[in-house]
Amino acid sequence: MVRSAFHTSPDEVQETLRMIEVEHLDIRTTTLSLSLLDIAGADAGVADRVYQRITEAGQNLVQVADEVGSDLGVPIINKRIAVTPISLIVGQGNPQRFIEVANALQRAAEDIGVDYVAGFSALVQKGFSAGDRAMIEVIPEALGKNSRLCGSVNVASTKSGINMDAVGQMGRTIKDLAQVTADEGGIGCARFVVFANAVEDNPFVAGAFHGVGEAQACLNVGISGPGVVCSALERLREKPPPGGLNFGNMAEVIKRMAFKVTRAGEVIGRVVAARLGERVEFGVVDLSLAPTPAEGDSVAKILQAMGLERAGAHGSTAALLLLTDAVKKGGIMASSYVGGLSGAFIPVSEDAHMVEAVRVGALSIEKLEAMTSICSVGLDMVAIPGDTSAETIAAIIADEMAIGVMNGKTTAARLIPIPGYGPGDVYSYGGLLGDAIVMPVNQFSADNFMRMGGRIPAPLHSMRN
């Protein structure tokens, strides 16, 4: 029997039940994160070793997560695997070997029943190795054919600057991946993300991977509770002054909700890790207000509860600052093991109120970009016209990377150029991915800028060692 160090009162139990039943509180993901460094190699057997490592370590993940969710009464929605960046594991310039490993990752995910396996990734913020180039070359084929496989490429960091050659390659990669999965609305792009300052303990796909500084096997938990925060703000609105809705009171309420949700997440994560066996360590709890298409489970609706008519209205960036900061403060107070990307996510297609904000003209890609200087990720699940050029896609990524590099924070771009679709069109992916509304992009060219190549140097404040 696993005992928790935390103690809860009857009132806290009742509040948690309300969060679960009414306000969409859930454990968004339990991600088993595995090191593959000890089985790395360029030989023909590497794919089999990868498959064996994942299936042996993860064979009980789904069953254990379901049992813990049932025992503790908190839904655990997704079960996922993250592995060491595959470019480090194959590590040589044979594209076919990377395809074999990609297929092995897919087969392992299917056989143990997890939703996704992430880590078809490369770290190229300062330059390419032979393995990086070979892996990036096959991303469209690997992710296009393997529906449970997720990948990422880190092209920038505050310490290294922006690898503009890699950024340009990402524009072409995303364009090719959209074409490979054109029959499904370019859905392959929803499983691929480009990072600046990628973190090593992120449990959320598509950007999860097992960092080289991590233990052999970790269980990281991703918690999501935008409905909890939104309901708390709506209750606050009903109170008379001075206890009602003002900036200080909103920050305090969000911190308290984040504290309670983080405590629940750590308890559940530790129980899952313990039941998986002594070889699996508890890693981090990532408290990220990640929305779903469900009514009420929306970050955009939180911004509206804070007084904005629509997400994207002037004031949205300031409101998002208050929200993100309060979430982080509440999480840090609740646990010494908060990590990942904790804060607020703004994936457009996965948030019904974000989609509506785009539809009515309140939210543009330019305003969204400004908001990403505050949020925990970046331009996430943003659909753009299918005829957008690779150079323009790369330029959008470059702008997002610049925000991350200059501000010393993680930023990312998960862009989906939907073949055959134009501004205002909607493609329904269904499920967690929701409805993607195509956002118009600036029609003026950045082609000459993007073709220069090389690396944008790191900013002055990178010199901190």
419 in Cβ contact with 178 (< 8 Å) = yes
Q: Is 85 inside any structural domain? A: no
First to last CA, the chain: 45
C-alpha to C-alpha distance for 410 and 198, rounded to whole angstroms: 6
Q: Is 393 inside any structural domain? A: yes
On the question of pLDDT at 225 being above 50, the answer is: yes
Q: Which two tokens stand for residue 236?
A: 């606050």
pTM for the model: 0.93
252 in Cβ contact with 325 (< 8 Å) = no
Q: How many structural domains comprise the chain?
A: 1
Q: Is 435 inside any structural domain? A: yes
406-445 tens-digit pLDDT? 999 999 999 999 999 999 999 999 888 999 999 999 999 9
pLDDT band, residue 182 (cuts 50/70/90):
very high
Report, as an integer, the average pLDDT of 63-73: 90
| Helix (DSSP H) and strand (DSSP E) numbers for the chain | 16, 14
- Name the 3-class secondary structure at 247: helix
Q: Looking at residue 416, which CATH number applies to its domain?
A: 3.20.70.20
**426-460 residues labelled b (16+ CB within 10 A) or e (exposed):** ebebeebbbbbbbbebeeeebeeebeeeebbebee
115-162 tens-digit pLDDT? 999 999 999 999 999 999 999 999 999 999 999 999 999 999 999 999
Q: Is 401 inside any structural domain? A: yes
Q: Is 389 inside any structural domain? A: yes
On the question of pLDDT at 22 being above 80, the answer is: no
C-alpha to C-alpha distance for 145 and 36, rounded to whole angstroms: 23
Q: Is 10 inside any structural domain? A: no
Q: Is 362 inside any structural domain? A: yes
Q: Is 203 inside any structural domain? A: no
On the question of pLDDT at 296 being above 90, the answer is: no
186 in Cβ contact with 419 (< 8 Å) = yes
Length of the chain: 465
C-alpha to C-alpha distance for 386 and 455, rounded to whole angstroms: 28
Q: Range with the lowest mean pLDDT among 74-78, 231-235, 290-294, 408-412?
A: 290-294
C-alpha to C-alpha distance for 64 and 221, rounded to whole angstroms: 14
On the question of pLDDT at 104 being above 60, the answer is: yes
pLDDT at 361: 96
Q: Which residues contact 149 (CB under 8 A, 6 or more apart)?
A: 102, 105, 106, 109, 116, 117, 118, 120, 142, 143, 191
126 in Cβ contact with 405 (< 8 Å) = no
Q: What is the dihedral of CA 307, 297, 404, 102, to 10 degrees?
A: -170
C-alpha to C-alpha distance for 255 and 261, rounded to whole angstroms: 10
37-63 tens-digit pLDDT? 999 998 889 999 999 999 999 999 999
C-alpha to C-alpha distance for 297 and 352, rounded to whole angstroms: 9
pLDDT at 154: 98
What residues make up the domain containing 252?
222-258+291-335+346-452
Mean pLDDT taken over the chain: 91
